[in-house]
Structure 1
Amino acid sequence: MRNVAQKEWRVNRPSRRFRFEIDQISLLGVLTVMIFAYILFHFIYPIISKGLLW
């Protein structure tokens, strides 16, 4: 039997996948904040400024 060094079958690239997930989470967070700001300034703020909400 030959002495053969064992190969590492797992590919050590978790950083790329982790970095992509962080980017995707950041994109969804920014998109949520932008939609919330749009709703706030186009619908809620005019109602408050006219005094219709309270």
Structure 2
Amino acid sequence: MKQTVQRDTRTSRPIRKAPGAFDQTTALGSLTVALLFYIVYHFVYPLLSKGLLW
């Protein structure tokens, strides 16, 4: 049987991101905020302005 050396899968040095990096978390957060704004603006605000909710 062949002898294999086990490597540590973790990197020894931390990965540093640029301060303006646009990663997946930022993209999902932005989409969530945009969706909530869309729902409020198109569905809730017209009901409030007509006085149907309060």
1:21-43 Cα distance to aligned partner (Å, 9 max, x none)? x7100000000000000000000
1:47 and 2:47 are equivalent in the alignment: yes
1:32 and 2:32 are equivalent in the alignment: yes
- Equivalent position amino acid for 1:36 in 2: L
- The separation in 2 between residues aligned to 1:13 and 1:28, in whole angstroms, is 27
In structure 1, runs of 5+ residues without a counterpart are 1-8
Of the two, which has the highest radius of gyration?
Answer: 1
TM-score, normalising length: structure 2: 0.62
- The separation in 2 between residues aligned to 1:47 and 1:25, in whole angstroms, is 32
- Report the CA distance between 1:12 and its aligned residue: 5.3
**What RMSD, in angstroms, separates the aligned Cα atoms of the two structures?**
2.5
Count, aligned residues: 42
TM-score, normalising length: structure 1: 0.62
